[in-house]
A = this chain, B = another copy of it.
Amino acid sequence: MSPFIVDSLNTHAVISARGAAPRGLSSAPMNDLPSRSDWQALLSGTTLSPAELLALNAIARLRELPAGATVFARAQPASELLAVLSGSVGLGLARVGQAAHLERSIRGPAWLDLGSAWLGEGHAQDAWSLSPVRILALPLPALRELMAVQPAMSERLLAGLARTVRSLVLMAHDLMHKDAEKRLAAWLLQGASSGCGEGPALLQLGQRKRDIAAQLAITPETLSRMMRQLKLKGLIEVQGYTVRLLDAGALRALAAD
Measured CB to CB, the residues of A under 8 A from B are 92-93, 101, 103, 114-119, 121, 124-125, 144, 147-148, 151, 154-155, 157-159, 161-166, 168-173, 175-177, 217, 257
Kindly provide the distance from the CB of A191 to the nearest chain B CB, expressed in whole angstroms.
Answer: 19
Number of copies: 2
Task: Given the known inter-chain contacts A147-B151, A147-B154, A148-B151, please indicate yes or no for A165 contacting B115, CB distance below 8 A.
Answer: yes
A/B interface sample: 25 pairs, CB < 8 A: A93-B173, A101-B176, A101-B177, A103-B172, A115-B158, A115-B161, A115-B162, A115-B166, A118-B159, A118-B162, A119-B159, A119-B162, A124-B165, A124-B170, A125-B169, A147-B151, A157-B158, A158-B158, A161-B165, A165-B165, A168-B168, A168-B172, A171-B172, A172-B175, A175-B175
CB–CB A175/B173 < 8 A? no
A176 and B217 contact, CB distance less than 8 A: yes
In the complex with contacts A165-B164, A169-B125, A155-B144 CB distance below 8 A: yes
Using Cβ atoms and an 8 Å threshold, which residues of chain B touch A147? 151, 154-155
In the bound assembly, the distance between CA atoms of A118 and B217 in angstroms comes to 30
B residues less than 8 Å from A103 (CB atoms) = 169, 172-173, 176
**Which residues does chain B contribute within 8 Å of A217, judged by CB atoms?**
175-176
- Determine how close the nearest CB of chain B comes to the CB of A42; give it in whole angstroms: 15
> Assuming the A-B contacts A161-B158, A176-B103, are A169 and B166 also in contact, with contact meaning beta carbons closer than 8 angstroms in the complex?
no
A125 to B168 CA separation, bound complex (whole angstroms): 12
A169 engages B124 (CB within 8 Å): yes
Contacts of A158 in B (CB 8 A): 115, 118, 154, 157-158, 161
Residues of B with C-beta under 8 A to A144:
155
A101 to chain B, nearest CB (A): 6
Q: Which residue of B lies closest to A216 (CB)?
A: B176
**Which interface residue of A171, A172, A177 has the most chain B CB atoms within 10 A?**
A172
